[in-house]
Each structure stands twice: as structure tokens, then as C-alpha cells.
Structure 1
Amino acid sequence: MSTNAISTAATSTNERDPAMTMTPEQATQFAEVFDRMVRGVEQVLLGKSHVIRLSFTALLSEGHLLLEDVPGTGKTSLARAIAQSVRGTSNRVQFTPDLLPSDITGVSIYDQRSGSFDFHRGPVFANIVLADEINRASPKTQAALLEVMEEGQVTADGVTHPVAAPFMVIATQNPIEQAGTYRLPEAQLDRFIMKSSIGYPDHASTIRILEGSDKRAHDVVVPPVLSAATVVELAALARTVHVDATINDYVARLVDATRNATEVRLGASVRAALALIRTAKTLAAANGRHYVIPDDVKELAEPVLAHRLLLDPEAEFDGVTPSSVIAQILIETPPPGDRQLV
């Protein structure tokens, strides 16, 4: 199915009525384009289709992605491949302790000829921005991303400069090296719609990687599948996926459970609940459905909610992790039955 068909479908849906939901035919077309995007990135990241699907789910949910994993697992390669799959602009920023906020957002420079200050845009003005090793920058520099990640704009000298659409920040960080790093504050973690890790490849994928050792990761170029405008249209189409009232109730109960868990000092916010619904809609469409089911919510609960939880220090000392808390909550919180969804 061509991307033109998707564009036509998205436009027709918006023209009919903003309250109209996605049709089964549109869901099928959405899934075909989504799978094509995933297959392209799989050329670079072998045997990791699940994390690739999560990454594109974040993109089409109009959110930002945080990749946390040990060195050498392909975090940067994944982010670069996602950027290449979209026919738009992309920039990579290597975060270091001496990086300044203006190095990211831009700076105003005085023009002697015109007698005025001209704003020179920073690398954040792109469709996809790779923030490599984000936890190596100072808190002041990390905070420079807050406004642009949440509002899609940069304010400099009282003037607002909007970024392009779509806009996505893919940030990476190394969890095992603490020297010279600055922990991301909860306010910024909450801006990431999803946090995921890649992990080591399985044996078969490792063999395939070794067989292609004559090629470097950056030598493999992923052909662009979609234009930036089509990504915006797909995201708009994903928002029209039907969500039953029982699904909203299920998400609300899950979020409430994170706030009442004894191991948790700070539970999931309202923004987290909205993020879970948004990503569940996109995942449903990616699976060829025009409606959300409880399994969509279950699959996304850990990557969407876990990084937003702040655990009690005693629970952390006992080996409790945010992921284990979410897993236990999913077990204890009954999903809506099939008959309720009809």
C-alpha cells in the first residue's frame, strides 16, 4: 500500500469529522506502512523487531524516546536508522559536560550591517534529533530541552521559534558509567513518552552480525520510507483509533495502582496515563486494528510507565525495580473482559 493512500485516508478522516474513528481499511493500510518502516530499520539492528516497533510507536504517537543500555548494543545505530527512514531533517548532538544550552537551541548574534540581532538556529531545529549520551550534559543544558520537547518551540530573547513537524528527540544514555554524568531529573524523564533498552542479540542474530563484519554500522543506509509530512498524517490517523470506556477505566486503575503501591514514593502522572492511551492507539493501528484492546495497554505499560516511577529508597535497597512494580500491578489489576469491549 502506497503512502499516498495513507495520506488520502488521513485527509478524508479529518475532513469527515474530527470525532470519526479509524476504519478497518485504514488500519490495514497503516499496518502495512508501519511494517515497511520496521523492515527497513531491521537491516541495521538485527533480531530486535520489538524495540524497533516500540520506537516507531513513539514516533507516530508524537512523543520522544529514551534508550538506556550498556555500550555496544546499537543505541546510536537505531536512532540513526529511524532518522534515515524518514525523508526529513535530522541532527545528532553529542552531549558533553561543557555543552551549553545555546549549543542546542541556538544563539542570537549581532549583525553589524543591519544593526540587529539574528537568531542562528541550533541542531534542535530538525525533525529527528539524536541526543547522544544525554546524561553527560549539565542539568542546565538538559533543561534547555524541556520547553522544546513539551511545546515544540524555542524561546530566545522573548521571541518564540517553532520547530518543524514532526519533531522527535531520541536520547541515549549509559546506565553503568556514573563518573562525569548527571542524572536526568524526574521532570525531564516525564517528557519521554517511552523508555526502552535494546539488549544483546540472540545467538542467531550474533552470527549474522559477525558474517557481515566487513561492513560498519554507519555504512548501511536505510532508504527513506516516508516523508515528514506523511509521518504527521499517520500520527493524526493514529489518534482516531477507537478507545472503549472500559480501556480508559483500565488505564486509570493501572495508574492509580502505581500511586498506591507501597514500594513507590511517586507514582505515574496524568501525563503518563495520556501517554499510555496515545501509544496504545498507535500500537493497535500498527497491528491492523482500528480499536484498542487490553493487550495493547499491557504491552506498553512497562516502557511507558516504569521510568516515571520514583521508588522508596528501602524498596530499591531490597532490589525492587520500577519494571517489577509494573509487572506486579499488571498481575493484580484485572483487565476488562472481551464482552465488555464489544
Structure 2
Amino acid sequence: MTQRIDVRAERDYQVVIGTDLGQELVPLVGDQARRVLLMHAAPVARAVAGASEALTAAGYGVSTIEVPDGEDAKTADMLTRSWSALGEAAFGREDVVVGIGGGATTDLAGFVAATWLRGVRVIQVPTTLLAMVDAAVGGKTGINTAAGKNLVGAFHSPSAVLCDLSTLRTLPRADLVAGLAEVVKCGFIADPEILRIVDASTEAATDPVSEELAELVRRAIQVKADVVSADLRESHLREILNYGHTFGHAIEHGEHYRWRHGEAVSVGMVYAAELARLAGRLDPGTVAQHRDLLGRLGLPLGYVGGRWLQLHEAMRRDKKTRGDRLRFVVLDGIAQPGRLEGPADDLLVEAYAAVTLG
């Protein structure tokens, strides 16, 4: 059954969730567009071929650009290559960029659309669990630099998001499991029913054709839709979506983005939970629940030792930092997110020790 979730933004849009949604793309592109740019990574070439065929048959001029898979797509070089493709295609204000792939692809496609002619429409077609529940919804776009992740970007809401659950059937299991970290995050910050579903059966939660996974996707997207509708530009509430991301992004940066995003966020959530416990804000039982659920899903719970100075420096460059004061999203309880500003260095180091492997 196809479901639609409304998102309020500078222009409202819908997230469409279902299976075999290829027929939805052409009407979403609409009558005003003449040209469509399909941006994609190599693993989804078959889906791109089908989209290109349908759009061409409908009378659009279709261009495609293949980008590197994963975070290697989010570079200034790929950005300029994409601009060049748009220029060569004489891409106009009424035309549409379509991002097909994982979160890195949708991040890049969104930023390309945001910056071409000061903003053209983008339709996001996420093909990974992580992209469906996180990157493709909400209008955050960006690229990485040597200084850190997503430090260059723009808010540019899509005109639609198509989440075709059938694409999860061919997703490597490690990628599916990594995407579940963002789903579990939504459970901890807003929707305890997510945690109940995962706790009841991690086997069902990791089954790409199960009703449980479809329900988890819907619930996680609803959490994000509710939050971003209330706070489009991350001025207050939207920051709660960054639970686990401050430490997680530091890991990604230190590992040169070789870690999957969800794996880093998993460790980041455990770190944030331990930090909240040390600050007297979270009970030990909820910290143990983090470790139990994430560990049973097969997600990492810790990181190597001896990297504190590197991690601390990366966190100081995080977007949530104000001046020299680190700011963490923490929990005061399940579905009770808050902020911890300027925690003492000894607490930061002690929390690191709590997630250090070996």
C-alpha cells in the first residue's frame, strides 16, 4: 500500500512510500519542465535506465551524470562537474534535477539544484534505508571539505521524495543495518514504538521485505517530517535529529569517510548516552538499552582508543558548536531530547573511555 507523508517547508511536498513507484516520477516532474538531469551512483544504474526511458517517452530531454558511490560524491570537483553538465544541457529554471541513490547522492543532487540558477526543483529518489529515513527528507544539502562533513551546503527542500521499498531487497545487508541506526535514533528521540518493534524482533527489523521494516521506515520518516515541518532551518527543534552525530561525524572525519554513516552514528549515540549519564541526565538503564538494541542489530558500540585529540578537534568544528562551546544532543529519558552545552573536559574524556574498544 502506498502511503504519503506531508512535509511543510518553503514549499510543501510529500514523501511517497510504497513499492514499484516508477510510475510516480513522470507526473511529479510535471508539464513545465523540458529537461531532467538524473544524478546517480553506479549501483543503481538499472533503476536510472528505467527512469530515463520513462521520462524520454514522456517527451523530456534527459541527461544523466554518474557520481562516485558514497561520500566520495560530495566534493567540490563533483559539484563543478555537475554544473558543467547542466550548462551543456541548457538547463533552465523550470527544469528538474532528480537524485537517485544513497544519501551522498541525494545530498549532492540537492546542493546542485539549490545552486543552479539560484535554485531549481529537485526530486529525491532514495534507494537506501539511510537515505529514505534521513538524507532525502528535510531539505538539507551539502558537500564535504577537508575541514569536515557537510560544512558547505544549503537548505533546499525537494518538490517530492519517492521511497520505493522494493529497492531495499537488493541492498547489501551491512548497508541496511547501518541505515537502521538512524531509525533507532528516531525511536530514542521521539517514537518509542520504534524501539518496541526492533526489540520484539531484530530479525524482522532487518528483513527487507517484512511488514515490520516497512513500518519502521514509515515511523522514522514521520518523525523527521514532523520535526523539519516545525523547524525547517534548524534554529531550535531540528537539532534533535543530530542525536549521536557530533561524535559520529568526528569518527567519519577521522576515518576519511570509510565508515558507514549509520555505523558512526551508532557509536555516537552510545557516546551521547554515556555523556548524559555522567552529567546526571540519563539513567543507566537507558544507556544499557542503547547498547542492547544497537548491538543486537549488529551495529558497532565503540571506537578505538588513542584518538581523543583528533576526535575533539573534529567535534570543535561541528556545526552545532557555538564559539568554543561544544553542544551535544542528549536524552533526559526516552523521547525526551535536550541539549548539553559546554560539558567539562573530564566528562568528555570519561565518556570516550566508556566507548573505547579493547
Name the TM-score, length of structure 2 as normaliser.
0.28
Q: Which has the higher contact order (CA 8 A, sep 6+)?
A: 1
